[in-house]
Structure 1
Amino acid sequence: MKKYILIGLLALLSATKLSAQKQNDITDFNLIFAPDLSNRLNPKLYPKAVSDADIVQGVLGRVWPDILRIKREEGQLDHYSVDFINKGLIGLYKINTDALAIDFQRFERRQSDRIDYIKARNKTGPTLKTDTVAFIAEYKKFNNKAAISNNGADIWTYFQSGIDDRIVLPTVSTGGKLKHKFRNVMVLMTDGYIEAGIYGKGYDLSAAKVTDFRNAFLKSNSDDMHAFLSKNPKFKIKPAKNPFLKDLEVIVMEMYDRSLSKTGAARKHPTDMEIMKLIWTDWMRSSGVKRFELKSTASNKTEAVKYIIDFLKKS
């Protein structure tokens, strides 16, 4: 009997210790905006209800009090930044990357400084509001340049080698028993067509590839696209082999269906969107991305921002 009591006590102590350890862990957000700066931004070619800049502005406008209070009250170490799929555009567009970052980790354990920054109590230094204004101004500047240019976005190579320890942050300690774990969340803004880099080798998802999939699927008389894709791997995107993806959550925003009419009616079945979501889902899973969601173009800014906030609230 004593033996069983001892085992029970040890199990209880172990569970209590584990519970206390979990209570000492705080989860913060490392939110990265990764825009596809291809011709998808040209409103004459692909008109949308909401721009990428509006989405970024809307999310940053919810940092306080919404995002900073998701399962936390103080000591937040959140990061908000932009990363570029094609790094060459930074120099081409003369982008000030320093303006494209808001970092709460610099306050470490100084909660009073964090509050002063959020509530603009410090009249001489930067505040959350001034940093947000600078962030949006710089974002709009390069976004407007990209909208009138014709550069591609090599998304496959970005997932293969562009996502690294700059993007996926490790657990940190600010002293004492507290440990801060980051949820590394990427807001990938793209139309869903991967039309840069190498074509026809499994690294792209061009409009032509989507069309070829549709034609082959209809010709097969199959009624199951998932099964058809499994039997025809030539239509798949090759998995990215990047160990950092296992700690990355991705919400793909503003996927644009070119197969729809100007009024939004389907002109072909299956639609481009159905095909793209199928192939993207297979790619994200086979690449080992921790968690992901795929979203079509939003009807308005409020809807787009809600997609992202809801994604952050889910764990």
Structure 2
Amino acid sequence: MNIKHILPLVVLPFLVACSGGDKTAKKEVMIKDYNIIIAPDLSNRINMMKYPKPLHDTLLIREVIDHADDLLKLNDRSSGQSDIYKIDFINRGILNSSSFDPKKMTIDFSQFGSKQLDRSNYIRKELNSDKQEFADEVNRVYDYSLQNQTGADVWNYFNETIKTSLVDVSPQFLNETTNAIVNKKNTNVVLLLTDGYIESANQGKGYKLGPEMIEKIRKAFNASGKSELQEFIAQDSSYAINKTNFNLKDANIFIAEMVDRSLDKYGVSKVQPTDFQIIKVIWEKWLKDSGASNVKVIQAVNTKQQFYKEFEQFLKTL
């Protein structure tokens, strides 16, 4: 049989299905937005004299905010984005200590809803000034925190405080204008800036991961003769940070600025395994045991461009 006679027989059922039958069936549309929560550890780690590092937190935060309009285009998005960028405090008591305004440290594209023209006008005319206001307020927070040191209860932050900053990950609704069912995926991303050392009491519920515990793990691992640090740590429950009572299934966690105190001033390790290698294993296990499906831990980087590239790559995997 000639192929030109076969083709219409193949195409016809497809055309019938597309034009056909169920005229009441609604179109489904998938959209994705990011809820980016920047949570800096404002403990004594921000003292650059005590714990020097290549870049100050404020430069890294500004780098993310400066790319807000670029991130709106991530995953080929072109309109209707509802991304949110905001600072969240691990210790929210700082908000009661001075006149900081959380609204100045928030950029919220969801306020425009379906009004794309308003969103475009905001990006073109007002976003840059809001970026500057965001950065200025963050600088004020760091200046204040440097003079008024408080502990950072990271365990309780993930167990309790973070709840009010997360958004519903997959609401479904009907767009009455287009009569389409919209499956909306909100992706909660926690950008935690910390050195990884947990030295507060954590209200007795969490864990202390200070130099003493790290040295204890290092000595035990080296004495064990085992080669896999992750496996070694997993086999001893006394090394584990207690998992949170709150399930972190809706949180994707990017941990940055871990400064390895076991390195010398030239970046050469004085001991093996290094502090960072031990901390990374323990943090990843803790957060995954607590329900988080995506966790990435990176050391302090030398350039803000490198930091942003790492963060952007993490977003692309979600």
TM-score greater than 0.5 by the shorter chain: yes
| Partner SS, residue 81 of structure 2 | coil
Change (3 A) 1:270 1:22: farther
Structure 1: gaps spanning 5 or more residues: 1-7, 121-126
2:145 pairs with 1:146: yes
For residues 67 and 174 of structure 1, what CA distance do their matches in structure 2 show?
26
Matched with 1:70 is: 74
For residues 27 and 160 of structure 2, what CA distance do their matches in structure 1 show?
33
2:56 pairs with 1:47: no
- Give the one of 19, 31, 37 matched to 1:32: 37
Matched with 1:218 is: 222
Alpha-carbon distance, 1:151 to partner: 1.6
Matched with 1:128 is: 127
- Give the one of 182, 194, 209 matched to 1:190: 194
Matched with 2:208 is: 204
For residues 62 and 52 of structure 2, what CA distance do their matches in structure 1 show?
19
**CA displacement, residues 231-250 of structure 1 (integer Å, 9 cap, x when unaligned):** 2210111111213x101101
What amino acid sits opposite 1:118 in the alignment?
I
Matched with 2:8 is: none
Change (3 A) 1:311 1:191: same
Which of these two proteins has the greater Rg computed from alpha carbons?
A: 2
For residues 198 and 38 of structure 1, what CA distance do their matches in structure 2 show?
13
Change (3 A) 1:145 1:21: farther
2:171 pairs with 1:168: no
Structure 2: gaps spanning 5 or more residues: 1-12
- Give the one of 239, 258, 270 matched to 2:243: 239
Change (3 A) 1:93 1:212: farther
2:276 pairs with 1:277: no
What amino acid sits opposite 2:33 in the alignment?
D
For residues 52 and 305 of structure 1, what CA distance do their matches in structure 2 show?
12
Matched with 1:123 is: none
For residues 79 and 307 of structure 1, what CA distance do their matches in structure 2 show?
19
For residues 129 and 205 of structure 2, what CA distance do their matches in structure 1 show?
46
**CA displacement, residues 203-223 of structure 1 (integer Å, 9 cap, x when unaligned):** 221222111111222232332
For residues 133 and 191 of structure 2, what CA distance do their matches in structure 1 show?
20
Change (3 A) 1:279 1:199: farther
2:78 pairs with 1:58: no
Alpha-carbon distance, 1:179 to partner: 3.8
Alpha-carbon distance, 1:263 to partner: 1.2
Alpha-carbon distance, 1:111 to partner: 0.6
Q: Are the equivalent residues in 2 in contact too, given 1:167–1:184 (CA < 8 A)? A: yes
| Partner SS, residue 157 of structure 1 | helix
* Number of aligned positions between the proteins: 293
Q: Are the equivalent residues in 2 in contact too, given 1:171–1:179 (CA < 8 A)? A: yes
TM-score normalized by the length of structure 2:
0.86
Matched with 2:109 is: 104
Deviates more, 1:151-160 or 1:21-30: 21-30
Instruction: Calculate percent identity across the aligned residue pairs.
Output: 34
Change (3 A) 1:272 1:303: same
